[in-house]
Structure 1
Amino acid sequence: MSNAKNSRYRVISNANDFMSQVYKSEKELRAINGQKYTLNDFCEEVAEYCGISPSTVSQIRIRNLQPSFIVSIKLAEFLEVDVSELFEIVEVDGYKNNREKCIIDGCERIATTKGYCMKHLHKGYAE
């Protein structure tokens, strides 16, 4: 999982937890009916529903890959959970916003390349 180098936040995937729960319950249901159900079967079903390969599902499941936005929505539909439950956004420890502040005294907004925040830039201070 890669995140932008200076990103204040990172995404933690909970997809594995939900996928494990659904797989286990489905496996139990099929066992009652005398059917064999493997993790590969599960990955193939998820892959077909989401329009991705089973190996991609496995990579998402073991947290080696963050799914795209569209795949996240399809995965949430398949697992019957809200997409916001699949991911957690956390603040990065030690993140320091070292971007420059607006040059107008008392303004704490982030400056553009001209030294002014967007508010003061649009008010004509930079002209």
Structure 2
Amino acid sequence: MGFFNFNSLIAFAILTSVPSVSLADRMIISDAALCGTSEETVLDAGGFIMSETTIEAIEFLCEFDQLPQLDLKEYQTLTRKGYCAGPMFLIPQVFAFRFGEDIGDIEMIGQFAQYVPSGRITFHVCE
């Protein structure tokens, strides 16, 4: 099945600090130390990039239906359909995004066999 065995992929997005956030306005990456650099630099460093429609890494891309501008005043959960693809696989996925004022950063949970043994990636919203 290629580099990854995706049985399921759940993405949890948790953003704080402002009442409403557009994912298009900020770079959201897996390594906060790379904030202020280019997307190419993040990917070359082995990082992950999240946007309002994708999660991208050097060896794969996940795409999902567009997320709306996020209203963070109250807790909510959104689901989106999509897929993940790599050099030798294309797998349909259901993505779940959770938002709320009381939690920081963005967490994505799934099986990332070779890159992340724990199956968890924390994303950071770059200011």
TM score, norm. by length of structure 2 = 0.26
Larger radius of gyration: 1
Please state which structure has a larger fraction of its residues in helix: 1
Relative contact order, higher structure (CA 8 A, sep 6+):
2
TM score, norm. by length of structure 1 = 0.26
